Amino acid sequence: MTQLETISEKLGINVPWVNKGGVQWLEPGTVSIRELAKTMNELQARFITITAYQLPKDEGLKLEYHWDINGQLLGFPYKLASNSIESIYDLCEAVDWIEREIHEEYSIDFLGREYEPLLLRQGDTAGVNLREEVAK
Amino acid sequence: MSYKIPMGPYHPALEEPYKLDLICTGETVTDAKLHIGFNFRGIEHLAETRNYIQVIALMERVCGICSNIHTLTLCQAMEGLTTLTPPPRAQYIRVVMAELERLHSHVLWAGIAAKLMGFKTMFMTCFELREKVMDILQAISGNRVNYSMNRVGGVNRDIDDPQAVLKMIDALEAEMVRTVIPIFTTSSTARSRCKGIGVLTHEKAISCGVVGPVARASGVGQDIRKAAPYAAYGEMEFDVPVQPDGDVKARLLVRALEIMESCKILRQALTKLPPGELFIGDGKFDFTKMATTTSTSRVEAPRGEVMYSVSWKEGSRNPARVHVRTPTFAVMPAIRWMVLGARLADTPLIQASIDPCYSCTDR
ipTM for the whole complex? 0.86
* Residue B13, domain member (yes or no): no
Contact B316, B308 (CB under 8 A): no
**Structural domain tally of chain B?**
1
- What's the CA gap between B62 and B42, in Å, rounded? 10
Residue B149 to residue B136: CA distance in whole angstroms: 14
> Tens digits of per-residue pLDDT, A50-90?
999 888 777 888 999 999 998 899 999 999 888 889 999 99
Which residue, among A101, A117, A60, has the nearest Cα to A83 in the 3D structure?
A60
> Is B317 a member of any domain?
yes
Task: Provide the pLDDT for residue A128.
Answer: 63
Q: What's the pLDDT score for residue B158?
A: 92
* Residue A73 pLDDT: 92
For A3-135, CATH number out of 3.40.228.10, 3.30.460.80, 3.40.50.2300, 1.20.1250.20 equals 3.30.460.80
Predicted confidence band of residue A130 (pLDDT cuts 50, 70, 90): low
Three-class secondary structure assignment of B134-152:
HHHHHHHHCCCCCCCCEEC
In chain A, what are the domain boundaries? 3-135
The fraction of chain A above a pLDDT of 70, given in percent, is: 88
A64–B209 C-beta distance less than 8 A: no
B181 membership: H or E segment, kind and range: helix B181-186
Q: Which residues in chain A are closer than 8 Å to B21, comparing Cβ atoms?
A: none
Q: Is residue B150 part of a domain?
A: yes
Q: What is the CATH number of the domain that holds B63?
A: 1.10.645.10
Cβ distance A21 to B307 less than 8 Å, yes or no, reads no
| Distance of alpha carbon A83 from alpha carbon A89, whole angstroms | 17
Could you give phi then psi for residue B14, rounded to 5 degrees? -110, 135
Q: Which pLDDT value is given to residue B243?
A: 93
pLDDT at A123: 65
- The terminus-to-terminus CA distance of chain B in angstroms comes to 38
Model pLDDT, residue B212: 93
Instruction: For residue B167, give its domain range.
Output: 44-326
What is the model's pLDDT at position B122?
84
Rounded to the nearest 10°, the torsion over CA A22, B80, B141, B181 is 0
Identity at B189, one-letter amino acid code: T
pLDDT score, position A135: 64
Q: Is B43 on the interface with A (CB under 8 A)?
A: no
| Cross-chain residue pair B222–A120, CB shorter than 8 Å | no
A120 in contact with B at a CB cutoff of 8 Å? yes
Rounded Cα gap, residues B207 and B268, in angstroms:
36
d(CA B124, CA B112): 10
Using CA atoms, how far apart are residues A127 and A54, in angstroms rounded to an integer? 15
A73 part of contact set with chain B, CB < 8 Å: yes
pLDDT single digits (tens) B255-279: 989 998 999 999 999 999 999 888 8
Task: Determine which of A68, A96, A106, A136 to mutate to test the interface with B (most B C-beta atoms within 10 Å).
Answer: A68
Distances (CA, A) of B114 to A57, B118, B262: 53, 6, 21
Provide the pLDDT for residue B268: 94
Neighbours of B64 (CB within 10 A): 13
The pair phi, psi for residue B343, each rounded to 5°, is: -75, 145
Domain membership of residue B4 (yes or no) is no
Q: Is residue B340 part of a domain?
A: no
Residues 220-249 of B with CB under 8 A from A: 222, 224, 226-228
Q: In which residue ranges of chain B is pLDDT below 70?
A: 282-285
In a domain, B65, yes or no: yes
pLDDT of B264 reads 93
- pLDDT confidence of A122, banded at 50, 70, 90? low
Longest dimension (CA), chain A: 54
Quick check: is B144 in a domain? yes
Residue B18 maps to a domain: no
* Cα first-last separation, chain A: 52
Angle between helix B88-117 and B248-271 (nearest 10)? 150
